Structure 1
Amino acid sequence: MKKRVVVGLSGGVDSSVAAYLLQKQGYDVVGLFMKNWHDDSVTISDECPWLEDSNDAMLVAEKLGIPFQTVDLSEEYKARIVDYMFREYQMGRTPNPDVLCNREIKFDVFMKIALNLGADFVATGHYCRKGTIERNGKQIYQLLAGKDPNKDQSYFLCQLSQEQLSKTLFPIGEMLKSEVRQIASEQNLITAEKRDSQGLCFIGKVRLPEFLQQKLAPKTGAIVEVPTSFPQYKLQAPNFISEEDELRYLSTKYEYSQTDGKQVGTHHGAHYYTKGQRKGLAVGGTKEPLFVIDTNVDENIIYTGQGKDHPGLYRRGLFVKKEEIHWIREDLTLDEDGKMEVNARIRYRQPLEKATLHRTFSGLYVIFDNPQSAITEGQFVAWYKGAELFGSGVIS
């Protein structure tokens, strides 16, 4: 019996080639398109309309001669992703919908539908790889970085579980993007030259302030510029009474009040902005561009600093609450008081940075060898050994 694989056909080149490769490998392939969004009023609709995508996915399935259907997951998407995003922004955090979308939709809701269709596996067009090792007679699945260093998407899958990985295939993980496009071209797939979609997982390009304004009302507040001479930046580290005391110190962000700088403009809502943001402040006349160094949604103030080297942007550590630590490799879980040297990243496409994990009673500290710019609450930190991503957590 041929093994059945359901491919999440998104209407892009990567999933199209994934379906073609699986078919060539002798799998019984079924194409499934997920419709996750109905509201075109907030999408920049000619950038990523789902209608065009579903049409392209259907034409690819037709060309390959595989069964195809569309599933409407917009209710689940709204409940699990969109409502979560609103809650996070309201609290002044910056969520990562792509990571959540993979955990909650593609590899959960979608995977269950696929398995009900008799699938042995689910496949996606992600640039990452799956490894299998054996430990104590038990199969363990690894999530490995994609071969194409410019396209590696392992970070977006940092919340997957062993159970999810066991049922997943990544057919293009060993390939470069250029090779994927070449195959699509040779096979005359309609998606061969299609641009990569940008923006929210499955929604497309969204005007974020307008998207958030559906729930979070605009409210005028102050933009305050904090000078590099702010006294807290110059403070000497205190004497620490314990290691956890030091870890907490390295992971604590600076606290600002409106009197710590001068008002340089106004904004329409602190919850529309995120740390490290440079565009959209509409403040001119500074020697170097202004960057958001912090936001206070309770007082509706945005704190900014001049230049990408402003000390307010940098710190060495971050904290993940106990309940938000996730191990893909459960066999590598750190016990309390355990330490581990890793490479870590706090955003997609960021080069991996040397760091040490410190497990404490209350959670996990990630302390980097070098200070990191714009560590942002609500985003994910993912840690690696070599090419393997084996754990992650929500930055608290």
Structure 2
Amino acid sequence: MKRVIVGLSGGVDSSVAAYLLKEQGYEVIGLFMKNWHDDSVTISDECPWLEDSNDAMLVAEKLGIPFQTVDLSVQYKERIVDYMFSEYEKGRTPNPDVLCNREIKFDVFMDIALELGADYVATGHYCRKGSIDKDGQTVYQLLSGVDGNKDQSYFLCQLSQAQLAKALFPIGELAKPEVREIAKAQDLITAEKKDSQGLCFIGKVRLPEFLQQQLKPKEGIIVEVDESLSTYNKAVPQFENKENELAYFSTKPSYSLADGKVVGKHQGAHYFTKGQRKGLAVGGTKEPLFVIETDVNENVIYTGQGKNHPGLLRNVLFVTNDELHWVREDLALVEGETMSVKARIRYRQPLEEATLHKVQSGLFVEFKNKQSAITEGQFVAWYIGDELVGSGVIS
């Protein structure tokens, strides 16, 4: 019997993952990760870790599998929370869920599981794992979940071949309603439990307050930029080569106070992200205001009216070499090569046609259509068919 350690989160997905593995004849052990101690910033009745660990324990009891809790809060703080603070300070918007999978679940947690003699680590993610034989080597594939509405392959876009080799995703072939049905049929306490929203394994966090612990509020101004700004309408130059063209279109506009009018105040540019609409508290505009740029050095937020404001739209982005990752290392491009893919710049965004262009300093992703709110610090992931083959941090 192969031994599998399941990351039991206290939710329905991981509960059913554990049940299915047991049915398939694996020796299953449930492990709950405690990643957070500070209850003052969680919206406590939404998703306190205590309730979750209790639910996970009850599921393990019901399934008749061993269960224990591991405290990873030190590593979580170092690898996720501290990273998030430093990214926000730089005016970038990190994705803690992608990082949590790369750094915690499939690294720290996986190491613990392997020390406990596990052959595999399993999670309740809606994605699938495939494998192909290439030149006598087994190459693992990260495939999107069958339930297009719940596909979570994006969150695993930073996994390596070594991590995938040891990973199992038992519910990837199922749709969410089927997962709930199985949980009900097995009388699992999590069958009707709401999905947790918020940071991976922390629960719902009041993000501004969470950040304010480290990043102090600082009053600044909100500037509205009109779409008639000359920057948006200047003539496109002639380009010597494709790389120059891509570099031109991937460069975001830079704004100054003279480009718009002051329409309000905010408590810190680092609390806002591109494309954000809520929390600006500015009324009286014909269309809602969206954040088109944050300047953390000058503490200014630039906004524009409507979701089609030209300040939000761009069709090329860039990933530096040190933030470029190939799940399929065998498909990695070399300088001068291109690849046609489908790509997304955020979870749940429909896949969009794009072309990858490898250059000396990194990789350009050129979308066929303009994308809204391309945000530095977020991940772009690219697919061939239903296989996620690589990803990178938008620079």
Same topology, TM > 0.5? yes
**In the alignment, what sits opposite 1:141?**
140
Structure 2 residue matching 1:46: 3-state secondary structure: coil
1:8 CA drift (Å): 0.2
Instruction: Output the CA distance in 1 between the equivalents of 2:306 and 2:264.
Output: 17
1:244 CA drift (Å): 1.1
**1:312-333: per-residue Cα shift (whole Å, max 9, x none)?**
1000100000111100000000
TM-score by length of structure 2 reads 1.00
The one-letter code sitting in structure 2 at the alignment partner of 1:130 is K
Conservation of the 8 A alpha-carbon contact between 1:111 and 1:122: yes
Structure 2, gaps ≥5 residues long: none
Conservation of the 8 A alpha-carbon contact between 1:11 and 1:56: yes
**In the alignment, what sits opposite 1:226?**
225
Conservation of the 8 A alpha-carbon contact between 1:147 and 1:175: yes
Q: How many residues in Structure 1 have an aligned counterpart in Structure 2?
A: 395
Instruction: Output the CA distance in 1 between the equivalents of 2:322 and 2:84.
Output: 19
Q: What does residue range 271-286 of structure 1 map to in structure 2 within 5 Å?
A: 271-286=270-285
Structure 1 residue matching 2:275: 3-state secondary structure: coil
**In the alignment, what sits opposite 2:89?**
90
The percentage of aligned residue pairs carrying the same residue is 76
**In the alignment, what sits opposite 1:379?**
378
Q: What does residue range 159-170 of structure 1 map to in structure 2 within 5 Å?
A: 159-170=158-169
The one-letter code sitting in structure 2 at the alignment partner of 1:33 is F
**In the alignment, what sits opposite 1:48?**
47
Instruction: Output the CA distance in 2 between the equivalents of 1:236 and 1:206.
Output: 45
Q: What does residue range 98-137 of structure 1 map to in structure 2 within 5 Å?
A: 98-137=97-136
1:309 corresponds to 2:308 = yes
1:259 corresponds to 2:266 = no
Structure 2 residue matching 1:211: 3-state secondary structure: helix
**In the alignment, what sits opposite 1:184?**
183
**In the alignment, what sits opposite 1:17?**
16
**In the alignment, what sits opposite 1:200?**
199
Structure 2 residue matching 1:393: 3-state secondary structure: strand
1:259 CA drift (Å): 0.9
Instruction: Output the CA distance in 2 between the equivalents of 1:126 and 1:315.
Output: 31
**In the alignment, what sits opposite 2:76?**
77
**In the alignment, what sits opposite 1:339?**
338
**1:128-158: per-residue Cα shift (whole Å, max 9, x none)?**
0000100011000000000000000000000
Instruction: Output the CA distance in 2 between the equivalents of 1:316 and 1:188.
Output: 49
Instruction: Output the CA distance in 2 between the equivalents of 1:132 and 1:56.
Output: 34
**In the alignment, what sits opposite 2:156?**
157
TM-score by length of structure 1 reads 0.99
1:388 corresponds to 2:366 = no
Instruction: Output the CA distance in 2 between the equivalents of 1:315 and 1:242.
Output: 19
Moved more, 240-249 or 327-336: 240-249
Instruction: Output the CA distance in 2 between the equivalents of 1:329 and 1:63.
Output: 39
Structure 1, gaps ≥5 residues long: none
Structure 2 residue matching 1:342: 3-state secondary structure: strand
Instruction: Output the CA distance in 2 between the equivalents of 1:205 and 1:293.
Output: 26
1:242 CA drift (Å): 2.0
**In the alignment, what sits opposite 1:37?**
36
Conservation of the 8 A alpha-carbon contact between 1:81 and 1:100: yes
The one-letter code sitting in structure 2 at the alignment partner of 1:320 is V
The one-letter code sitting in structure 1 at the alignment partner of 2:385 is G
Structure 2 residue matching 1:193: 3-state secondary structure: coil
Instruction: Output the CA distance in 2 between the equivalents of 1:336 and 1:245.
Output: 15
Instruction: Output the CA distance in 2 between the equivalents of 1:18 and 1:374.
Output: 35
**In the alignment, what sits opposite 2:289?**
290
Conservation of the 8 A alpha-carbon contact between 1:127 and 1:147: yes
Instruction: Output the CA distance in 1 between the equivalents of 2:168 and 2:321.
Output: 30
**In the alignment, what sits opposite 1:68?**
67
Instruction: Output the CA distance in 2 between the equivalents of 1:153 and 1:206.
Output: 21
- RMSD of aligned Cα (Å): 0.4
Structure 2 residue matching 1:61: 3-state secondary structure: helix
Instruction: Output the CA distance in 2 between the equivalents of 1:255 and 1:63.
Output: 58
The one-letter code sitting in structure 2 at the alignment partner of 1:113 is I
Instruction: Output the CA distance in 2 between the equivalents of 1:279 and 1:72.
Output: 35
Instruction: Output the CA distance in 2 between the equivalents of 1:3 and 1:265.
Output: 60
Instruction: Output the CA distance in 2 between the equivalents of 1:121 and 1:242.
Output: 48
1:85 CA drift (Å): 0.1
The one-letter code sitting in structure 2 at the alignment partner of 1:102 is N
Conservation of the 8 A alpha-carbon contact between 1:250 and 1:367: no
The one-letter code sitting in structure 2 at the alignment partner of 1:298 is N
Instruction: Output the CA distance in 2 between the equivalents of 1:237 and 1:344.
Output: 26
Instruction: Output the CA distance in 2 between the equivalents of 1:375 and 1:187.
Output: 43
1:241 CA drift (Å): 1.8
Instruction: Output the CA distance in 2 between the equivalents of 1:45 and 1:92.
Output: 28
Structure 1 residue matching 2:20: 3-state secondary structure: helix
Structure 2 residue matching 1:113: 3-state secondary structure: helix
**In the alignment, what sits opposite 1:319?**
318
**In the alignment, what sits opposite 1:358?**
357
1:235 CA drift (Å): 1.0
1:250 CA drift (Å): 1.1
